[in-house]
Amino acid sequence: MGAGSLQLRLGELATRLGVAFHGDPERTLERVATLTQADERSVSFLANPKYRRHLQETRAGAVVLSPTHLEGCPTAALLTADPQLTFARVVRLLYPEPEVPAGRHPSAVVAESARVHPSAWIGPTVVIEDEAEIGARVFVGPGCVIGKGCVIGEDSRLVARVTLCWGTLVGRRALIQPGAVIGGDGFGFARDGERWLRIPQIGRVRLGDDVEVGANTTIDRGALEETWIADGVKLDNLIQIGHNVTVGENTAMAACSGISGSTRIGRNCTIGGAVGTAGHLEIADNVHFTGMAMVTRSVTEPGVYSSGIPAMPNGEWRKTVARIRRLDEMERRIKALEEGLGSVREQAAMRPPVGYG
């Protein structure tokens, strides 16, 4: 993926991106780099104003930036209201995905009842079980295991060592990174005296179109119904999605987050790194949790939500902990003072006014 790059002229690149440009339209560009590392054949970008100090000294062949930053740019520029988005499109143009080589590696094991489109690639040591279905131009990388009855939609890519447990449904144009496990049993047990009895998980996982799943992320199958990851969802590395969870369209979730079972997350949400949720919660559309947030209640209104204590010098933290430990005592003392103050006010109200009689 992205091993090779193309060469495009500045004017051609601007036309394909649909943006204005400043500079020589014949300038050749073939790679991307940061402002400080770029050379004359590189495209860089400026999105965060705090990096503006690097702009005047860059050696980039072209810089993607907003028109407000054009003054002071010493080189050619691609002008756009959203430099980060435009730069992402530059990368996709200069580093196109390689075409999927149709065929099957000799070491792959494919069940006779599996249906594999002739244009798909089945890589080394892949195992595809009974009744699985692999769509057109799907790339199944080395070491992947595709369980019984799984379906993978066209143009999807399983990079390597991906495990799809039985019945998992993957939409079109999915990208699943190495080590992901989709459709493993959810964490379901019933108490049997002092022991636990495992509850068979008989639902499945469904991924919509254009879903991306990061490395070593796990998505559990539903207990009875589906675990549903809707169209356009982006999941980072090392995320745990519990059984029966629903994640709405175009929600993005950063690494090390954990979503407990039966939680329903709305559309267009962002979940920061290491966020944890309790189970059976309802999260509205357009909710944004900052990193390390601990979500214990449903959130019904869109907005930005945070919790947790930011890092601080150890001495300050120890003092803060000491104060936290005294909160119960302080509450009792304040309550006693309030009760005493109320008694004083009652006695004062019963006294005759000064000068009475």
Give catalytic residues, as residue numbers: 243
Secondary element (H or E) of residue 140: strand 139-140
Cross-strand pairs, 276: 258, 294
| CB proximity list for 233: less than 8 A, separation 6 or greater | 207, 208, 211, 212, 247, 248, 249, 250, 251, 252, 253
Structure tokens at 71: 């003054």
Contacts of 37-42 spanning 24+ positions with Cβ under 8 A: none
Q: Which of 210, 208, 229, 209 is nearest to 218 (CA)?
A: 229
Beta bridge partners of 303: 287
Closest by Cα among 253, 249, 226 to 237: 253
CB 154 within 8 A of CB 121: no
Extract the tokens encoding 170.
């993957």
> What beta strand segments (E) does 54-128 contain?
62-65, 76-79, 103-104, 109-110, 115-116, 121-122, 127-128
Contacts 24+ apart (CB under 8 A), 116-119: 117/154
